[in-house]
């Protein structure tokens, strides 16, 4: 991060948000907590400095394209994009529970029933991404956040890819975190992204249930060998069903590996009289639902325009100040909060 960036945020950001402390910093991004002034709602602002992105600049475009296309209860919602000649600012849904990684560490490991709850959420989110033609390619507990209801939100599509044919198009880039990377990814062979994501989910499930990684070594070459051998210890305390699911995902041969459809119908996910995982309902995509005209009416008063002028600005879904206001108002409403918008004029 350059010093310069910390001193000045875009006026567009300062005008409508009160930027607070840093809540995360990854490779080429810093995440700040911010308050959306109009609604008082907390948001996360992912700030990326263009000139320090270098060849990663295209990854930001990939992440933006992915986030614009994805709308799901277990994917962190994009609210607004503010771009300047030097910065990208992605205003995202805030997840107050922080990273699943910290949640596991704090408990050493999860009890089976809690792992099932979380893993079902991850499985439906990944199935939805794949159905929309996106591969995540960096599935790990650090990229899964907890919201106020302790439900998971998937973040960080910075390594995502959208091959033309998500099921068959071969990918070549070796990326993601080594410990979660599939054997075919680290061996540099062309690979199918969906299959690689399913391997990562096997590593993730193992980490949830055991509190440590199946393949781990400080020496990267050794770690790669362990992954390619695909041999790992299964602690005795794991149930047979969960061990079988992990085995189905951690198949070195991607053609023998479970698919996300196998996953969604696996006994371990559909066990203990759990209802079968609901197929994605397109009404989950807020853009497919009827517009909440009460919210649009409040927005029209706020901006001092007519309802008929306000409506097209909302359904335009430009991820601008209208999108963030509409989505923040909906979220506040869902959480039972009454938001009184002040008049801007």
Ligand X SMILES: O=C(Nc1ccc2c(c1)CNCC2)c1ccc(F)cc1
User: Which residues are within 8 A (CB) of 231 and not within 5 positions of it... i.e. 6 or more apart?
Assistant: none
Q: Which is nearer to ligand X, 92 or 329 (CB)?
A: 92
What is the number of other CB atoms lying within 10 angstroms of the CB of residue 286?
Answer: 16
Taking the mean position of all CA atoms in its chain, how far away is CA 219? 29
3-state secondary structure of 279: coil
Residue of 95, 185, 296, 299 interacting with ligand X (CB under 6 A): 95
Of the candidates 92, 123, 152, 205, which one interacts with ligand X according to CB under 6 A?
92
156 and 125 Cβ atoms separated by less than 8 Å: no
Q: What is the DSSP string of 222-250?
A: HHHHHHHHT-----TTS-HHHHHHHHHHS
Window 285 to 314, contacts with ligand X (CB under 6 A): none
Binders in 20-49 for ligand X, by CB under 6 A: 23-24, 31, 44, 46
| Cα–chain center distance at 256 | 27
Q: Residues 28, 79, 88, 94: which binds ligand X (CB under 6 A)?
A: 94
Under the binding rule (CB under 6 A), the answer on residue 76 touching ligand X is yes
Residue 327 lies near ligand X (rule: CB under 6 A): no
- Least distance CB 32 / ligand X (angstroms): 9
Using rule CB under 6 A, residue 98 touches ligand X: yes
Q: From the centroid of its chain, how far is CA 262?
A: 22
**Binding flags for ligand X, 111-150, as an x/- string (CB under 6 A):** ----------------------------------x-----
CB 17 to ligand X: min, Å:
14
CB 73 to ligand X: min, Å: 15
Report in angstroms how near the CB of residue 145 gets to ligand X at its nearest: 5
Region near ligand X per CB under 6 A, out of 9-17, 92-100, 167-175, 281-289:
92-100
**Number of Cβ within a 10 Å radius of residue 168:** 9
Q: Which two tokens stand for residue 146?
A: 């907890």
Answer for which of 48, 116, 124, 155 binds ligand X (CB under 6 A) is: 155
Binding test (CB under 6 A) with ligand X, winner from 96, 163, 178, 230 = 96
Give the Cα separation of 171 and 189 in Å (integer): 9
Q: Regarding beta strands 170-171 and 98-99, do their DSSP bridges make them parallel or antiparallel, or are they unpaired?
A: unpaired
> Is residue 82 close enough to count as binding ligand X by CB under 6 A?
no
Q: Residues 56, 102, 138, 156: which is the catalytic one?
A: 138
Take residue 185 and report the two structure tokens written for it: 């990814």
Establish if 70 lies at the interface with ligand X (CB under 6 A): no
Angle at CA of residue 76, ends 133 and 335, nearest 5°: 135
Measure Cα distances from 181 to 22, 47, 164, 249, 259 in Å. Answer: 28, 27, 22, 12, 16
Distance CA 112, CA 339 (A): 39
Q: 152 pairs with which residues across the strands?
A: 146
**Residue whose CB is less far from ligand X, 270 or 286:** 286
Is 138 an annotated catalytic residue? yes
Minimum gap (Å) between residue 223 Cβ and ligand X: 27
Catalytic residues: 138
Q: List residues binding ligand X (CB under 6 A).
A: 23-24, 31, 44, 46, 76, 92, 94-96, 98, 145, 155
């Amino acid at each position: 991060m350059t010093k310069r960036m910390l001193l000045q945020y875009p006026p567009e950001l300062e005008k409508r948000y009160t930027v607070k402390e840093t809540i995360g910093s990854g490779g080429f991004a810093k995440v700040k907590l911010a308050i959306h002034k109009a609604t008082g709602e907390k948001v996360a602002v992912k700030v990326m400095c263009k000139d320090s992105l270098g060849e990663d600049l295209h990854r930001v475009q990939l992440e933006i394209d992915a986030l614009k296309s994805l709308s799901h209860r277990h994917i962190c919602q994009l609210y607004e994009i503010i771009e300047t000649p030097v910065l990208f600012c992605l205003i995202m849904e805030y997840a107050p529970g922080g990273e699943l990684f910290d949640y596991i560490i704090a408990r050493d490991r999860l009890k089976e029933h809690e792992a099932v709850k979380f893993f079902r959420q991850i499985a439906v989110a990944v199935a939805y991404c794949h159905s929309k033609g996106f591969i995540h390619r960096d599935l790990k507990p650090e990229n899964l956040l907890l919201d106020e209801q302790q439900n998971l939100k998937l973040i960080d599509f910075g390594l995502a890819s959208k091959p033309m044919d998500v099921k068959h198009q071969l990918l070549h880039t070796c990326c993601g975190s080594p410990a979660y990377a599939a054997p075919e990814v680290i061996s540099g062979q062309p690979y199918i992204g969906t299959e690689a994501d399913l391997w990562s989910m096997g590593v993730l499930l193992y980490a949830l249930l055991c509190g440590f990684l199946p393949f781990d070594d400080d020496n990267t070459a050794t770690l790669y060998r362990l992954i390619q051998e695909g041999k790992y210890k299964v602690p005795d305390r794991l149930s047979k069903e969960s061990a079988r699911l992990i085995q189905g995902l951690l198949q070195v041969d991607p053609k023998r590996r479970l698919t996300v459809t196998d996953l969604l119908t696996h006994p371990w996910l559909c066990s203990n009289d759990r209802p079968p995982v609901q197929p994605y309902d397109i009404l989950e995509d807020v853009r497919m639902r009827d517009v909440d005209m009460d919210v649009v009416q409040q927005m029209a008063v706020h901006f001092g325009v007519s309802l008929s002028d306000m409506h097209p600005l909302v359904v335009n879904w430009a991820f601008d100040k209208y999108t963030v206001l509409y989505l923040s108002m909906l979220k506040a409403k869902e959480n039972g909060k009454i938001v009184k918008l002040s008049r801007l004029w």
